[in-house]
Structure 1
Amino acid sequence: MAKSKEVEINKDGTIRGLSNTAVQMIAFGGSIGTGLFLGAGSTIHRTGPSILFVYLIIGLFFFLMMRAIGEMMYADPEQHTFVSFIGKYVNPRLGYFAAWSYWLELILAGMAELTAISTYVKYWFPGVPAWLIQVFFLLVLTIVNLAMVSSFGKSETFLSGIKILAIIALIGLGIYLVSTSHRNPSGTTASWGNIFNHFSMFPNGLHQFINAFPMVFFAFQGMEFVGITTAETKQPLKVLPRAVNQIIGRILLFYIGSLLIIMAITPWNTLNPNESPFVQIFKLAGLPAASQIINLVVIAAACSTLNSAIFSTGRHLYQLAEESSAKSMGFFTKVSKNGIPIVSVLFSAGMMILAPIISSFNSLSTAFAFIASVSSDIYILVCILTMVAHYRYRQSADFKLNGFKMPQYRWSNPLTIAFFIAIFVSLFFNQTSIWPAIGALAWGLGFNALLSYRHKRVEIAEED
C-alpha cells in the first residue's frame, strides 16, 4: 500500500498519523464525559462552591502525573503505552499486573459506555432492543478504529467537538444570564454572588468534602490517553510537550468554567442532584429542548469514551504481546497494512460485546457494576505505580537531561504519590466504596501472589 511521504512508519509497522489537535481531543474525549454532563450536580450538592477547590487540586496532581508520563514517553516515544514503564523501571511482575489490570479496566469502561449509549438512545427509540443498539455502536466504532489511525483521530475530534461546543454554549449562555440579571422561574436571580454568598468550605460536613475527591478523581480519568497515542503521533517530540502542557489548562477551564456558571445562574443548593445540571440550566434559560440537546451530547460523550477505549485496549494488548515470551501472545502482534494492531483491536472490541449479554440479566448487571467499581479503584494503583516508575526513571541511565522534564520531581513526584495513596485510602471510609476498594486490594495482592507462585514454579523446574 502506497504511503504519503509525510507519513512516518514505525519499525513494527504502526503509523504515526495523529496530529496535535487529535491528541488533545483524545485526552478531552477520555476525561470530559458523562461525569460532567450528568454527574456534576451530585458533586455540587455534596460540597457547594468548594467543589471548585476539589477540581483545582485534583487537576494540579493530574497535570503532574501527565508531566511524569510525558517525560518518559518523550525519552522513549515508540512505547505504545505508558504502563510499560512500570515493568521497565519498577518491577516486571508489577508491570505485568498494571498492564493487564489497566487493559481490563478499559474493557469494563467500554462495556459501561455501551450500556449507557443504549440507555440514552432508548430515550428516543424505546422500542429498539438495547442489545441491538449496543452491537451497532460497537461495530461502527470498531470499524473506525480498524481504518487508518488518522480516521480514529478525526472521529475523536468530531465527538469531542460536540462536548466542547455544549460546554462553550453553557458558558456563553451563563455569562449572558448573569450580565442581564436573569430572574429564574424559581424566583432566584442569576448573579456571581450566588457563588460567594454565605460561602462555607464544608456546607455538608468535612466528610462529604473528602468523599468528593474520589468522585472528581475518576472524572479526570482518561487524560492519560495521551500516553497511549505517542507511538502513533506525528512528530511526537514536538507534539507531546505541547499537548501535555496545554490540555490540563483547557480541561480545568471547561470543568471549572462550567461549574462556576452553573452555580452563578442559580444557587447551588437549589440544584437537583439527580438531574443533569446542564439540562436544569438550559431549562432555566427557557430552552424547551434542553433534555433533547443534552441527550445528544451525552451520547456523543459516551461514544467518545468508547472510541478511545477501543483504541487504548488494542494498543495495550499489542504492547503486552510484544513484551511477552509466550508463543500464544504472538497472535496479537499482527499489524495490518494500515498500521493498526488489528488482532489486538478486534479481540479487545470482542470482549466488550459481553455488555449486551450482561445487560440482559439483572443479577449479572449487579455483579458487573461491582466489578467495574473494583476496576476503577485499581486505576488509582496504576497511577501510583506510574509515578514510582517515573521516579525510578529519573535515577536510571535512560534519563535525558535535555528531555521534557517533570518540574521539581524530587518533591512533586513523592507528593503526587502521597496524594494518590490518600485518595485510595479515603475509599475505605465510605460505606458505598469500601467493598470495591477491598476488592481492588485483593485483586492486586492475589494477582501478584499468583505471579510470584508461577515464577517460583518455573525456577524449580529449571533447577530440576
Structure 2
Amino acid sequence: MNKNETKMKRGLKNRHLQMIALGGSIGTGLFYGSAPALQAAGPSLSLAYVLGGIIIFFVMRMLGEMVVDEPIAGSFSYFANKYCGEFWGFISGWNYWFCYILVSMSELAAVGIYVNFWLPDFPQWISALICIIIITIVNLVNVRSYGEVEFGMTIIKIAAIIAMMVFGAIIIFTQLGPFPQNFSNLWAHGGYMPHGLWGLAISLVIVMFSFGGIELVGITAGEAENPKTTIPKAINDVIWRILLFYIGAWFILMVIYPWNQVGLSGSPFVEIFAKMGIPAAANILNLVVLTAAISVYNSAMYSTSRMLYSLAKQNNAPKVFGNLTRSGVPALPTLLSSFITLIAVVLTYLFPQKVFIYLMAVVIIAIVISWFTIVLVHYNFRRKKNKLGEKTSFKTFFYPYDNYICIAFFIFVIGMMTQIPSMHLAVVILPVWIILLSIGYIIKKRSGH
C-alpha cells in the first residue's frame, strides 16, 4: 500500500463538525431559495420546515448510526457498496458527487446575484470565477484550513441570523418600523395557509432543497477527531439549531412584513429590510448572504473531493483520484470538481436570471436520490447487524418504521415536483440520470476497472 494512501488527517474537531453541518445547510436555501416556498405556503412555511426537519433528522440519525459504527471517508457511498452491493455504491457515490457539483453551481449563481445588489452592472460570471479561485486554494491547503474557514463563515451566518431575529423582535414590540407592526401579518393576507394544503405540499419541495448539505457531517467521518463521540453530538445538536434558525428567522420576517409583498428577485431577507427603509440592515444582510453562498460552495468543494476520493478507493473511479498530498488532501479530486464548476460561470454568463432556479430543480432530484440511498442502505445495515446479533451505539429511534416513512416522503416530494413547471425538467432528467449511471456501471464492470 502506498504510504500516501494512509495519510488522511483527522484534523476536524467537534466545533468544526458543528459548524460544517450548520454551514452546509444554512445557505442559499434559507437566504434566497426559500422565496418561492414562501409564495406557495405563506406563513405556513414554518410548518413546512418542521415537517421537513423531522424527516431530515431521521435521515441524519440513520447516517450517524452507520458512520459511528465505522467512521470511513466517503460515508454512505462506502456503506452502499458494503451493504447493498457494488451497483448501489457506484450509483450513490457518483450521484452525490454530481449533486454537489450542481450545488456548487447554484451557489456560484447566487454569489453573482448578491454582488449585483451593490454593483448592478458587475457581470455575475466574474463574481463566480473569483469565488472559484479563492475556495479552491483554501481546499488545497489542508483539511484544517477548510474547517477553520467554514467555522468562521458559519459563525458570521449564525450571528447575523440571531441579530436579525433580535432586531426584528425589537421592531415588532416597539413599533420601530415604518408601519404598524403586529402579528396580523400571519393571517391578514389570505390566512395562515393561504393556498391550503396544496400550497404547503408545494413548498415542501423547496424546503428540502434548503436542508441539502446537512448530511455533510457524515462525509467528514474519515477526518474527524474522535468520530464516535463528536459525530453523534454534531447530529443531535445541529437539527434543533437549524429548525430554530429557519423557523425563528422566517417567523420574525413574516410578522414584520406582509409575506405576499416579497418578490423573487433577490434574498427575501435583504429585500424586506430594504423595503422597510433600513438600508444599513439590508447591506449587512447582503454581506451575510454572500458569505453564506461562499460557505456552502466551500463545503460542496470539500464533499465532492472526498466522495471522488472514496469512489477511487472502492475502485469505482480512476485510482489516481485516491492519492493524497503530504498534507492529506485529495488534490486531484478537488481540482477536477473545481474545474467542472466553471460550467456555472458559463451558465451565469448565458442565463443570469434563470440559472439558479433550474440548477435548484436538478439539485433537489439528486439530493433526494442521496437521501433515499441513505435510508435504503441503513435498512440493510440494521437488518444485517440484527441478524448477526451485533449492537450499534448510536441507534435510530423507530427502525424500520422511520425508514418506511422517509421513503414514502421522498416519493411524495418527487411527485409534487411534477406540479411545479420550473421543475419539470428535473423530473424528466431523473430516469435519464439513473440510466446514465447504470451504463457507467456496466462499462466499469465490463472493462474491469
The verdict on a shared fold, with TM-score over 0.5 as the criterion, is: yes
Q: In structure 1, give the amino acid aligned to 2:372.
A: I
Structure 2 SS opposite 1:223:
coil
Residues in 2 aligned to 1:347 and 1:399: alpha-carbon distance in whole angstroms:
43
Q: Secondary structure at the match of 1:385?
A: helix
**Residue in structure 1 matching 2:284, options 276, 279, 293:** 293
1:79 aligned counterpart, secondary structure: coil
**1:341 equivalent in structure 2:** 330
Matches of 1:80 and 1:204, distance apart in 2 = 41
Answer whether contact 2:365 2:426 (CA < 8 A) is retained.
yes
Query: Per-residue deviation at 1:161?
Result: 1.5
Question: Residues 337, 450 of structure 1: CA spacing in aligned structure 2 closer, same or farther, 3 A cutoff?
Answer: closer
Give the AA of the match of 2:402: S
Counterparts of 1:147 and 1:443, CA distance in 2: 33
Give the superposition deviation at 1:148: 2.3
- 2:49 matches 1:59: no
**What's the CA shift for 1:360?**
3.4
Larger Rg: 1
Where does residue 131 of structure 2 map in the other structure? 137
- Secondary structure of the residue that 1:96 maps to in structure 2? helix
- Which amino acid letter does the alignment assign opposite residue 80 of structure 1? G
Shift of 1:300: 0.3
Asked if residue 278 in structure 1 is aligned to residue 262 in structure 2, the reply is no
CA distance in 2, matches of 1:165, 1:226: 21
CA 1:387–1:130 in structure 2 vs 1: closer, same or farther (change >3 Å)? same
Name the residue aligned to 1:353.
Answer: 342
Tell me how large the CA RMSD over aligned residues is: 2.8
Alignment check: 8 A CA contact 2:46 2:250 kept: yes
**2:436 matches 1:442:** no
Residue in structure 1 matching 2:243, options 244, 247, 252: 252
Gaps of 5+ in 2: none
Deviation by residue 1:130-181 (Cα, 9 ceiling, x = unmatched): 4443333212111111112111111001111221122111110122122224
Give 1:195's aligned amino acid.
L
Query: Does the Cα contact within 8 Å between 1:49 and 1:199 map onto a contact in 2?
Result: no
What SS does the aligned partner of 1:78 have? coil
Distance 1:123 1:199 in 2: 30
**What corresponds to 1:330 in structure 2?**
319
> CA, structure 1 residues 140+454, in 2 after alignment: closer, same or farther (shift >3 Å)?
closer
What corresponds to 2:419 in structure 1?
429
Amino acid at match of 1:416: C
| Aligned residue pair count | 444
User: Residue 368 of structure 2 is aligned with which of 360, 367, 380?
Assistant: 380
Q: String of CA shifts for 1:376-432, please: whole Å, max 9, x gaps.
A: 312212211210100100011488514111112121121111111111122123333
**Alpha-carbon distance in 2 for matches of 1:306, 1:427:** 25
Q: Which amino acid aligns with 1:434?
A: H
Q: Answer whether contact 1:50 1:200 (CA < 8 A) is retained.
A: no
Contact 1:358/1:368 (CA < 8 Å) preserved in 2? no
Look up the equivalent residue of 1:352 and give its one-letter code.
T
Match of 2:384 in 1: 396
- Give per-residue Cα distances to partners, 1:54-93, cap 9 Å, x unaligned: 1000000100100000000001102333232122212321
Contact kept, 8 Å, 2:72 with 2:78, in 1: the verdict is no
- Aligned pairs (5 A) from 1:24-103: 24-103=18-97
> How much identity, in percent, do the aligned residues show?
35
Paired position in structure 2 for 1:162:
156
Q: Secondary structure at the match of 1:339?
A: coil
Q: Distance in 1 between matches of 2:356 and 2:116?
A: 21
Map 1:400-419 to 2 at 5 A.
Answer: 400-419=390-409
Q: Distance in 1 between the 2:443 and 2:327 partners?
A: 41
Contact 1:335–1:341 (CA under 8 A) maintained in structure 2: yes
Distance 1:16 1:444, change over 3 A: same
Asked whether the 8 Å contact 2:11–2:143 carries over to 1, the reply is: yes
Q: Which runs of 5+ in 1 are unaligned?
A: 1-8, 460-464
Q: Which residue of 1 aligns with 2:302?
A: 311
Q: Give how far 1:268 is off.
A: 3.0
Residues 93 and 307 of structure 2 are in contact (CA less than 8 Å); yes or no, is this contact kept in structure 1? yes
CA distance in 1, matches of 2:423, 2:291: 28
Aligned to 2:169: 175
TM-score if structure 2 supplies the norm length? 0.90
Deviation of 1:200 (Å): 4.0
Change (3 A) 1:368 1:45: closer
**Cα distance, 1:29 vs structure 2:** 1.6
Instruction: Choose the corresponding residue for 2:105, options 107, 111, 129.
Output: 111
C-alpha separation in 2, matches of 1:272 and 1:19: 40
In 1, Cα distance between equivalents of 2:152 and 2:261 = 34
Identify if the C-alpha distance between structure 1 residues 172 and 377 changes in structure 2 by more than 3 Å, giving closer, same or farther. same
C-alpha contact (below 8 Å) 1:41/1:274 kept by paired residues: no
CA deviation after TM superposition for structure 1 residue 220, in Å: 0.6
CA change 1:335–1:191 in 2 (3 A) is: same
Measured against aligned partners, the alpha-carbon deviations of 1:158-207 in whole angstroms (never above 9, x if no partner) come to 1112211221111101221222244x43x4x2223443568845412433
Residues in 1 aligned to 2:356 and 2:252: alpha-carbon distance in whole angstroms: 35
Question: Shift of the alpha carbon at 1:435?
Answer: 2.7
- Does the 8 Å contact 1:42/1:274 carry over to 2? no
Q: Residues 236-283 of structure 1: CA distance to partner in whole angstroms, max 9, x if unpaired?
A: 111011000000000000000011111222343344454533224434
Separation of aligned partners in 1, 2:273 and 2:353: 33
Most deviating of 213-222 and 378-387: 378-387
Counterpart residue number, 1:121: 115
Aligned partners of 1:453, 1:333: CA distance in 2, in Å? 20
Q: 1:160 to 1:91 in 2, by over 3 A?
A: same
In the alignment, which residue of structure 2 is the partner of 1:5? none
> 1-side partners of 2:442 and 2:149: how far apart?
42
List 4+ stretches of structure 1 deviating above 6 A.
364-369
Alpha carbons of structure 1 residues 42 and 402: separation in structure 2 relative to 1, 3 Å? closer
Structure 1 Cα separation of the partners of residues 125 and 42 of structure 2? 38
TM-score normalized by the length of structure 1 = 0.87
Distance 1:236 1:292, change over 3 A: same
Q: Deviations over 1:280-316 (max 9, x none)?
A: 4434665222332222112101110110011111101
